[in-house]
Amino acid sequence: MRRSVEEQAVSPVGSDLNCEGSNTFLFVSSVLFVIYLSVHAKKNLTRLCHGPSYIVISYYALLWLVTLLNLAWSFLQSWQCSPGKEVAWNLLSLCTASGMLCLEISLMAFLLKDDYMNGMEALAHTFLVSGIIVFVDTLLKAIYVFGFGVQLFNHFVGSTYAIKWSLWVIHKLLLGAAYGFILFVHISKWREKLPPRPAFYNYVAVMFVFTMITLFACGLAGFGVSLGNWLYDFTVLCYHSLYLPFLYVTFLADFFREEDFLLDNAYYSEMKDAGFFDADWE
């Protein structure tokens, strides 16, 4: 007789992570980030209205959507082991994973353009690139999850699903290659082609290391090493708990701070054009 999901559970991330409820740290961190975004929402929206950037407005809206999806995903961890909830859990996990991947890819595509205020053309280009990649990735995952029954998003199936770990290895390998390529260009003679944003490269370096650790964990789990399952579950915990705040602090918070500087420059330019500073030259 086939073993139940509960019997296959091998995840030792902590006592909170079990088939009877959600991970406390994961849920609390998600709630705190939603509260943080809510507290700053009025100020951020005001700044976006004064300095319209279609890309950043869209990215901010996408961040909100993914944050709410991640909050629901964090709260409904018990669905992994609940009979009749498998389809709902897979759909929620697929949407959440696709949203977070879209944030990763679109951020790279946006910052490599090094242009905040370039209108609808840049918006279309940025989300066309990320949209195609995310669509293909989501389609492949959906085929394996709903077509072949591969439990990609169930953390309690352990190393019994070799196909699961093989797919995650390929996924993390491609993502790590993208981050690694950016770091290579940054230290090569072609670095002038990239935007001079130190915070961006710190972000890329952190994500490259994190992706490599996740890749290593998937490889160990694929060979049946229990440490691989533990390490993979730990990376999932860190990703869903810390990635969205890390992304906001690295990119959007910096943009909103820059908005103050941009507004000051705009007011100065308007006053200069109106002749307020002509007397200084007399």
For the record, the structure tokens of 78 come out as 């018990």
Top pLDDT among 90 and 160 is at: 90
Top pLDDT among 273 and 156 is at: 156
Q: Taking all residues of the chain, what is their mean pLDDT, rounded to a whole number?
A: 78
Task: Check residue 128 and give its pLDDT.
Answer: 84
Task: Check residue 198 and give its pLDDT.
Answer: 73
How sure is the predictor about 14, in pLDDT bands with cuts at 50, 70 and 90?
A: very low
Task: Check residue 46 and give its pLDDT.
Answer: 80
Task: Check residue 29 and give its pLDDT.
Answer: 94
Judge: domain 18-251, CATH 1.20.1070. Answer: yes
Picking from 130, 135, 71, 69, the residue whose alpha carbon sits closest to that of residue 104 is: 130
Q: Are 205 and 183 a contacting pair, CB within 8 Å?
A: yes
Task: Check residue 183 and give its pLDDT.
Answer: 85
Torsion of CA 166, 172, 177, 180, to 10 degrees: -140
Task: Check residue 277 and give its pLDDT.
Answer: 37
| 42-46, 196-200, 201-205, range with greatest mean pLDDT | 201-205
Top pLDDT among 125 and 57 is at: 57
Q: Are 75 and 22 a contacting pair, CB within 8 Å?
A: yes
Range of lowest pLDDT (9-18, 81-90, 200-209)? 9-18
Per-residue pLDDT tens digits for 124-158? 777 888 889 999 999 999 999 998 888 888 876 55
Task: Check residue 16 and give its pLDDT.
Answer: 38
Instruction: Kindly state the average pLDDT of the residues 40-44.
Output: 84
How sure is the predictor about 274, in pLDDT bands with cuts at 50, 70 and 90?
A: very low
Range of lowest pLDDT (147-151, 157-161, 169-173, 207-211)? 157-161
Whole-angstrom distance, CA of residue 93 vs CA of residue 144: 14
Whole-angstrom distance, CA of residue 214 vs CA of residue 174: 12
Can you give the residue ranges of every domain in the chain? 18-251
For the record, the structure tokens of 213 come out as 């650790």
Task: Check residue 278 and give its pLDDT.
Answer: 45
Helix 24-50 and helix 54-75: axis angle, to 10°? 160
Q: 30 Cβ partners below 8 Å, 6+ apart?
A: 67, 70, 71, 74, 75, 240, 241
Q: Provide the whole-model pTM.
A: 0.80
Task: Check residue 223 and give its pLDDT.
Answer: 87
Q: Does the pLDDT value for residue 258 go beyond 60?
A: no
Per-residue pLDDT tens digits for 66-111? 999 999 999 998 888 788 888 999 999 999 999 999 999 988 777 6
Whole-angstrom distance, CA of residue 193 vs CA of residue 273: 34
